[in-house]
Structure 1
Amino acid sequence: MSHPTHTTKKKIVVFASGSGTNAENIIKYFQKLPDASVVAVFSNKRSAKVLQRAHDLNVKALHFDRDALYNSNEVLHILEDINPDLIVLAGFMLIFPQDILNRFPNKIVNIHPALLPKYGGKGMYGMNVHKTIIQNKEKESGISIHFVNENYDEGEVIFQAKTEILGEDTPETLAEKIHKLEYKHFPEIIQQLLQKKPQ
């Protein structure tokens, strides 16, 4: 089946602050597909393992500091040059500045390891979320994929998936369950968002 030559690949940019297992999963998922790819990974931490993961997969890896994100607009200018179809936050710990949100409306998505609006907001990330959920004896948890706005975890929710919490679950075993949901659903939802026609 021949593709028309004028179709250009959709471009994804990933922001991550840590080890980058979700970022790696997303890169590999799209490397198998003809119509989109991760073109760059940004991290605000020079030592973040995600930069090495990106480099190993032949994806441009960029480190920036807070000044480049919030003051000098350097990150915004690089994003404008790339002109991504979607910006994906995969374990990115800083709040996104308004000028980038304004420049890429409805093109920035985040994944959160809980069922928003519960267990969202400042300080609610990673193991903090799972510990709090276990302490509160919740019966279920899950993931939320949502658009990013100027507040932590408050943008419109696009998709949620749930997992049951059993009596013997610990924060660590819950984290494992959540990771499985992230790996399964996050690339698929990104793909669906890219296939949607702009409004």
Structure 2
Amino acid sequence: MKKIVLFASGNGSNVENIIRYFKNNSNVSVIGVFSNNQHAKVLERAKNHNIYSESFTKSELTDGTVFQKIKKLNPDLIVLAGFLLKFPETIIHEFTNKVINIHPALLPKYGGKGMYGNHVHQAILENKEKETGITIHYVNENYDEGKFIFQEKVNIENCSSIEEIASKVQELEHDHFPKTIEKLLIPNP
């Protein structure tokens, strides 16, 4: 059984989608959800699925407290699904090529510090892009610069608001993120 730990900062629609995808999978199990926001809806979503969840402070992320908790859980994959803080190098190095992130744009465009959620969609709208998409990538020491695992594009020529762009991107996320996780954990022979 492969084990996944999820990190999120807010609503957690991707987290819940991943939990549902693997709910009846005998090969993969979501064993924990962590959030840096004690009021994040993602914690409630995890509890509704009887998944262990907890919040932590920024200092607990950087002082090794969260690292020790993750080590005890010993996940096969750590998935950042809407997690807004920079992930600690200690965890990245301990779990080499086992920490992944999803970004709501076609990296390397619209990546880096401060480029998340509606900030990304606003920049894409302002630049009159004809397409956007998602990038699933490994996490390294720099924001959004890890090796790409998967990208998918979507046409946004008819979109006139960030909400329309966000909706199309979220559809891609929900469709491709769990499938990509599964391929990483259980590669085809």
Query: Does 1:15 pair with 2:7?
Result: yes
Counterparts of 1:172 and 1:82, CA distance in 2: 37
Moved runs in structure 1, 4+ residues, more than 3 A?
none
Secondary structure of 1:105 counterpart:
coil
CA RMSD of aligned residues (A): 1.0
Q: 1:168 Cα deviation (Å)?
A: 4.0
Query: Are the aligned partners of 2:129 and 2:157 in contact in 1 as well (CA < 8 Å)?
Result: no
Q: Displacement, 1:184?
A: 0.2
In the alignment, structure 1 residue 55 sits paired with structure 2 residue 34: no
Residue equivalent to 1:179: 170
Structure 1, residues 139-185: CA drift from partner, whole Å, max 9, x if none? 10000000000111010010000000124431110100000000000
Matched, 1:68 2:60: yes
Q: TM-score, normalised by structure 1?
A: 0.92
Shifted more, 159-168 versus 80-89: the winner is 159-168
SS in 2 for 1:58: coil
2:128 is the alignment partner of 1:137? yes
Percent of aligned pairs sharing the same letter: 54
CA distance in 1, matches of 2:150, 2:102: 9
Shift of 1:85: 0.3
- In the alignment of these two chains, the number of paired residues is 188
8 Å Cα contact 2:154/2:169 also seen in 1: yes
Unaligned runs of 5+ in 2: none
What stretches of structure 1 of length at least 5 have no aligned partner? 1-8
- Counting only pairs closer than 5 Å after superposition, residues 142-153 of structure 1 correspond to structure 2 as 142-153=133-144
- The aligned residue for residue 96 of structure 2 is 105
1:128 matched to 2:129:
no
**1:83-102: per-residue Cα shift (whole Å, max 9, x none)?**
00000000000011111011
| 1:66, distance to aligned residue in structure 2 (A) | 1.1
1:52-104, Cα deviation, whole Å (9 max, x unpaired) = 00001000011111111101x11111111110000000000001111101100
Change (3 A) 1:153 1:168: closer
> Aligned partners of 1:102, 1:116: CA distance in 2, in Å?
23
Q: Note the C-alpha offset of 1:33.
A: 1.2
Q: Deviation at 1:32? A: 2.3
CA distance in 2, matches of 1:131, 1:90: 20
The amino acid of 1:104's aligned partner reads: F
TM-score for both structures, normalised by structure 2: 0.97
1:83 aligned to which of 65, 74, 83: 74
Bigger-Rg structure (1/2): 1
Paired residue secondary structure (2:82): coil
